[in-house]
Structures are given as C-alpha cells and as structure tokens.
Amino acid sequence: MREALIVWGGWDGHEPEACAAIIKDMLEAEDFKVYVERSTEAFADPSIRDLNLIVPIVTMSKIEKEEVRNLAAAVEGGVGIAGYHGGAGDSFRDSVDYQFIIGGQWVAHPGNVIDYEVNITRPDDPVMEGISDFPYTSEQYYMHVDPSNDVLAATTFSGEHAAWTRGVVMPVVWKRRYGQGRVFYSSLGHKAHEFEVPQMRTIFRRGALWAAR
C-alpha cells in the first residue's frame, strides 16, 4: 500500500485543516494509507524517506533548517511532493531551499479574489487529459517561477488590478523533478470549497498520483 503524509498549519485563511481532510479522503479513495500531522517537525522525521507522497499545506510560517534539509533529501531520493495555492507556493518565505523544491513562490494576487481564465498549455499530458480552458474565481497568483518547470496550465493577467502586469502569461500548474523526486504544483485552491470545482479537483488528484508514481 502506498503511503502519504499531509502536513497542515500556518495561516488559517486558507482553511488548511478542512483542505487536509479533503485531500486525505481523496488519497484514501486511491488506496493510500494517509498520515496527517499539524507540525513541520514531521518533515524532520527520517522515516519520511520511505513514503510515496508528501502534501504540504502550510501557508507562510517557518521551517527549521533540519526540517527542510530532511525534506529535500527525501524528495531528492524519490519521494513525491504535491502542493497547491499558498499551502505550498507561499510556504516558508525565508527558505530558499524549500522554494527550490517547489519551483516557485507567490509574490502577489492583484485584485484579490477575481474572475480569470485557466488555459491548458499541455493538453497532451495525462494530468490534463480531457480538460479544456476553464473560467475560475479565486486569487490569480502572480509568482516567481523556476524556468525548468514543465508548465501544464497558465493564465494571462489583464492588467486591470496592476497595469504593469497586462499581458503577462503566468504558470498555474506545473510538474518538475527534484533529484529522483517528482514535484507537482497547482496555484488553484484559495479556499476549501474550490475543491468542488471539477477541473481543479481532477488536476490536483491526477498531479498527486503522478508525483507518487
């Protein structure tokens, strides 16, 4: 049986506990044994190197050097990691080591919660199979991203809320490698109710399964 670890915490505005419960149910439906922890101390446990998947849901907060060092070693050794929105893309702002794993870092969401479009850039990828461009209502994440990411979906900024961003095409969903580990990230998912959007839920589920091999 595959095993996954969900670690939740940080800023309550992203409803990490509720989202952790949703993802736990999602993974258990795929026959994972799922462990749920509330502290980043779990990342320092050497046994995480035996897992198939790690799902961090921690916006902002702090991560200790030994915690991120052990996490990086686990992923580099082949453990998958799958994250979404601020739970993975705005975690541990002072840890460049963590950002190197994920492949990006949130820097702004002009206009806060707005209507925008998600454009599928890799319809040939199994994660995106059968999914077309779709409208979305949430925070449109402006991120600093790693150029080595394999971008599966993107969004174009209108410039309405920050004129200098007009026409900027920003990655929304990507896959990448970190050593032997598979890394999946989606910037969708500001609140728990967004998992009710079929495209968002399907993309995350497929991405997590890809990361877990």
SS3 196: helix
Q: What domains, with CATH codes, occur in the chain?
A: 2-211 (3.40.50.880)
For residue 205, give the DSSP letter.
Answer: H
5 Cβ contact partners less than 8 Å away, ≥ 6 residues apart: 34, 35, 36, 37, 42, 48, 51, 53, 54, 55
pLDDT tens-digit series, residues 64-84: 999 999 999 999 999 999 999
Residue 183 β-bridge partners: 81, 176
Amino acid at 9: G
Amino acid at 123: P
pLDDT tens-digit series, residues 87-132: 999 999 999 999 999 999 999 999 999 999 999 999 999 999 999 9
For residue 112, give the DSSP letter.
Answer: S
Is the pLDDT score of 53 beyond 90?
yes
CA angle 8, 10, 12 (to 5 degrees): 95
